[in-house]
Amino acid sequence: MRKKEFKNMEWVIVVVAVILSIIGLVALFSATQNTNYEEFQKQLIWFGISLAIMIVFMFIDYETLVRLSPFFYGAFLLLLVAVLFTSPINGARSWFNIGGFSFQPGEFAKVFVILFLTMIISKIQEKGKQEINKILKLLIVLSALAVPILLIAKQPDYGTAIAFIIATALMLFAAGIDKKYIISMILLIVVSVPLLYNFVLPEHAKKRVDIFLHPESDPRGAGYNILQSKLAIGAGGLTGMGLLKGNQTQLGFLYPKTTDFIYSVIGEEMGFLIAGLIIILYVVLVTKIIYIAKTAKDSMGTMIAAGIAGIFMFHMIENIGMVMGLLPITGVPLPFISYGGSSMITNYIMIGILLNISGKRQKSIFMK
């Protein structure tokens, strides 16, 4: 890699990602003291592996990844089909268990679906930027998106499915999609939400929406987790109750406290200051990724960065929103912080790709 590219890289995103990961490790250390720190130790290993993988992807030209994306897209579609035949964990068939570790293909698919959609949109735009606004061409993009979404929804994992949709929407926006499609999509969502609720969503998904609206209606059942989460965050105050000292965390009232509700652990034991800092760090991360998208040397880099920005933005908003009772619970992990090897590695792969995109920017961009 040339020295110029190395200097051009947006290193702030790495610093932010590492700080978030360290905060997550501290929270996991506290949350796992009653289980001999097993998940903390595994996450520490995944953190080291993720940094190494990030470096590998940092040196791989993103254009090469886009060219190879059809093979990865096909491979992960097969994995998403195969995972449907595994034994369910907490009601979802999303993981392959390999030895003492689990592998979640839906997490890795985020990266390669973004790359594959980038390839398709780039091919379409070879004949002109406005080609993407032709109905048939747009349907090709949406068809490529629909297959993994349907497979992931079948697991069921609606949170990840929505993340794909948000990422694609930002990619299409970056590709110059006509405003009429954006307005039509917003109207379609507004009209379809009540229809989906009444005629499409399974009972367990409907119950999550009902509990989101009225958690006190079932305080010992479906509403239990969100009520305990809000109690934990509220009890933390400004500076928190202290590591290893959170009542909801240490007495087992929060579940699952290492994944979905890790932000509640942080709010209770580290307080508003650290919980607020996390939100600021995510805003910095997403802002820097959008800047990378705006300054990328070509539309291919712009679309990849826009898709990744959508993934991180949705995960941050949904996870923090759901633990505070502002959004329905979907089981979406908090990037870099929630326990999970698949999620951690995927996040750092995306950081590595972003570094590569930012490194390829021309110096003149910064002189304007």
Res 336: pLDDT:
97
Region 198-211: mean pLDDT is: 71
| Token couple for 225 | 């987790």
Res 96: pLDDT:
84
Region 276-303: mean pLDDT is: 96
pLDDT digits (tens, 9 = 90+) for 169-196: 999 999 888 888 888 878 887 787 777 7
- Sorted by sequence, the CB contacts under 8 Å of residue 260 that are 6+ apart come out as 225, 319, 322, 323, 329, 331, 332, 333, 338
Res 345: pLDDT:
96
171 φ/ψ angles, rounded to the nearest 5 degrees? -65, -45
pLDDT digits (tens, 9 = 90+) for 94-148: 878 877 677 889 999 999 999 999 999 999 998 887 888 888 999 999 999 999 9
> How many C-beta atoms surround the C-beta of residue 238 within 10 A?
8
Greater pLDDT, 78 or 216: 78
Task: Output the CA torsion sign for 45, 48, 53, 54.
Answer: positive
| Token couple for 244 | 């290893």
- Residue 366 pLDDT > 50: no
Res 313: pLDDT:
96
Residue boundaries of the structural domains of the chain? 3-362
**Whole-angstrom distance between the N-terminal and C-terminal Cα of the chain?**
25
Task: Read off the amino acid at residue 203.
Answer: E
- Residue 322 pLDDT > 50: yes
The per-residue b/e assignment along 276-297, b for 16 or more CB within 10 angstroms, e otherwise, is: eebeebbeebbebbbbbbebbe
Mean pLDDT across the chain, nearest whole number? 89
- pTM flag (> 0.85): yes
pLDDT over 90 percentage in the chain: 62
Q: How far lies 294's CA from each of 117, 202, 287, in Å?
A: 18, 40, 11
CA diameter of the chain: 62
97 φ/ψ angles, rounded to the nearest 5 degrees? -95, 120
The C-alpha angle with vertex 89 and arms to 88 and 91, in degrees rounded to 5, equals 70
